[in-house]
Each structure stands twice: as structure tokens, then as C-alpha cells.
Amino acid sequence: MLAVLPVAWIALLAGVMLVSDAAPAALVVLPSDDLLNHLPEGVAILSATPVSVTLAARTPGLAAALYASGAWLVLPAGLAGCTPR
């Protein structure tokens, strides 16, 4: 039962990212070279590692655009979280 919790949490984050533009950036897990070479118009790479890339755009619908471009998992990035800054 505990193994379901992380999967459910990731699914919830991905769903919120898809229907909301509240996150200032998006984290794409295991991005393909094709995705990175053909990013949607206006999308900027903020950081990249071998397993993920953080992207941002000023236009709404970032997650949907990334899924349409070939991303398989888009999570919210850049949120303040629960702690004050």
C-alpha cells in the first residue's frame, strides 16, 4: 500500500501541472533529444541534468505543449512550497 503513495503523488502533480498554469516552470523527466531539439515556441531551458530538464515559458499551456512535443512526464517546478522565503 505504501508503494502506491509515491505513484499517486506524482500522478497528482502531473495532473495539476496539466490543468493549471500556477507553476512558474516545468520539470520534464527523462527528456528525449528530439524534445530538446524541437521545443515549442517561447520555451526556455532553465537547467538540465542527464535525467531531467527544467523549462519555462510566459505563455499558458506549457505542460500541454510539452506533452504534444513528446515529453512523457511533466511536473511543476519553481513553486515556493510550504516554507516561507
Domain ranges of the chain: 4-77
Core vs surface per residue 14-48: b (16+ CB within 10 A) or e? beebbeebebebbbbeebeeebeeebbeebeeeee
Of the pLDDT bands very low, low, confident and very high (cuts 50, 70, 90), residue 81 is low
What fold, for 4-77? Alpha-Beta Plaits (3.30.70)
**pLDDT for 85 beyond 60:** no
| Cβ(52)–Cβ(66) below 8 Å | no
**pLDDT for 17 beyond 80:** yes
**pLDDT for 10 beyond 70:** yes
Strand 74-77, strand 52-57: pairing: unpaired
Q: What is the pLDDT of residue 84?
A: 60
Q: What is the pLDDT of residue 83?
A: 58
What cell numbers appear for 42 in the block?
A: 517561447
Mean pLDDT of 74-81: 84
